[in-house]
């Protein structure tokens, strides 16, 4: 088990923010990433469709002998995590629970959540936060334009700032002190969000919090790779050209070989 890889999947390239943080915290671990680029985005799909896609992605990684499965997609975490945990006999970590735990440290208990339509409509973040902080006032807003802005490399462009002002105005009137970045693309817009919100709002990066949860699970269960490891393998379900280009900007380095596969 120790020598097996950690499996990470997302609907596309956004989960690389989670992948990057796991690689930083656990440099000896082998990582396998699957981007379901042929069927991206998940955020606008029905619950049943996302559940089916998530099960197929998970099966692909599990067939490669991973020891931990990381669902690096907020939408899939919101609607498919129970099914994945019931189906497969290995640890499954999503991005919502770690983010909710961090958000529960809010001082004035006024919390904003931004994400895709699928994630926001699922209400999973408010449910998870209220389980820890029952009296919290939570305001949720879908911000679909943030994803293409991040992938286009315009995360700090003036267009991104104006879009953020438009999206976040209702949250600012609620006097939030914590904002959950409920999509794995959104950490790329951190600087823009900080410019709009100011320093008084804590930004909760679900990618970072998820990586910490993976590190804790690996260490507590004696699953650390005893060898040097550190091998990274990438799979996509469509032509990898755009994934390679955008992924390089996400990770800040070349991804190396990317293999196109068919799942489902």
Q: What is the pLDDT of residues 1-28, one digit of tens each?
A: 889 999 999 999 999 999 999 999 999 9
Report d(CA 142, CA 127) in Å as an integer. Answer: 16
What confidence score (pLDDT) does residue 152 get? Answer: 87
Q: Is 73 a catalytic residue?
A: yes
Burial, 257: exposed, middle or buried (Cβ in 10 Å; 0-12, 13-18, 19+)? exposed
Catalytic member of 5, 183, 201, 223: 183
Report d(CA 223, CA 1) in Å as an integer. Answer: 7
Q: What is the mean pLDDT of residues 208-213?
A: 95
**60 HSE (CA, 13 A, CB side):** 25
Residues 6+ apart with CB under 8 A from 1: 67, 223
What confidence score (pLDDT) does residue 153 get? Answer: 86
According to the CATH classification, is domain 97-206 in 3.40.50.1860?
A: yes
Q: What is the mean pLDDT of residues 162-186?
A: 96
What confidence score (pLDDT) does residue 264 get? Answer: 79
Report d(CA 11, CA 84) in Å as an integer. Answer: 16
Q: What is the DSSP letter of 5?
A: P
pLDDT at 249 over 90: no
How far are the Cα atoms of 76, 132, 163, 249 from residue 82, in angstroms, in the given order? 10, 19, 34, 32
- Binding residues for substrate, as ranges, are 10-11, 42-43, 74-75, 184-185
Q: What is the mean pLDDT of residues 180-205?
A: 95
Q: Is 143 a catalytic residue?
A: no
- Domain 6-94+208-260 falls in which CATH fold? Rossmann fold (3.40.50)
Confidence at 231, pLDDT banded by 50, 70, 90:
very high
Catalytic member of 58, 73, 79, 149: 73
Q: What is the mean pLDDT of residues 101-130?
A: 95
What confidence score (pLDDT) does residue 169 get? Answer: 96
Each domain of the chain, given as residue ranges in start order, spans 6-94+208-260, 97-206
Please indicate whether the domains covering 6-94+208-260 and 97-206 agree at the CATH topology level. Answer: yes
């Amino acid at each position: 088990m120790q020598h097996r890889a950690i499996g990470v999947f997302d609907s596309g390239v956004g989960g690389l923010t989670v992948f990057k943080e796991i690689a930083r915290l656990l440099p000896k671990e082998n990582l396998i990433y699957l981007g379901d680029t042929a069927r991206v985005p998940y955020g606008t799909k029905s619950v049943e469709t996302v559940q089916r896609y998530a099960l197929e992605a998970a099966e692909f990684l599990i067939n490669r002998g991973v020891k931990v499965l990381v669902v690096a997609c907020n939408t899939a975490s919101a609607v498919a995590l129970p099914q994945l945990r019931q189906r497969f006999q290995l640890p499954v970590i999503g991005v919502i629970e770690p983010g909710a735990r961090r958000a529960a440290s809010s001082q004035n208990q006024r919390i904003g959540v931004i994400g895709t339509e699928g994630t926001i409509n699922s209400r999973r973040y408010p449910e998870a936060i209220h389980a820890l902080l029952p009296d919290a006032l939570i305001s949720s807003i879908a911000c679909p334009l943030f994803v293409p802005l991040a992938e286009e490399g315009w995360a700090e462009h003036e267009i991104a700032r104006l879009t953020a002002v438009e999206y976040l105005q209702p949250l600012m009137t609620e006097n939030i002190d914590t904002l959950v970045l409920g999509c794995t693309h959104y950490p790329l817009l951190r600087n823009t969000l900080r410019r709009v919100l100011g320093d008084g709002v804590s930004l909760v990066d679900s990618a970072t919090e998820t990586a910490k949860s993976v590190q804790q699970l690996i260490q507590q269960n004696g699953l650390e790779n005893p060898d040097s490891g550190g091998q990274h393998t990438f799979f996509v379900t469509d032509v990898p050209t755009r994934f390679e280009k955008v992924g390089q900007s996400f990770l800040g380095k070349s991804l190396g070989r990317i293999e196109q596969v068919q799942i489902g």
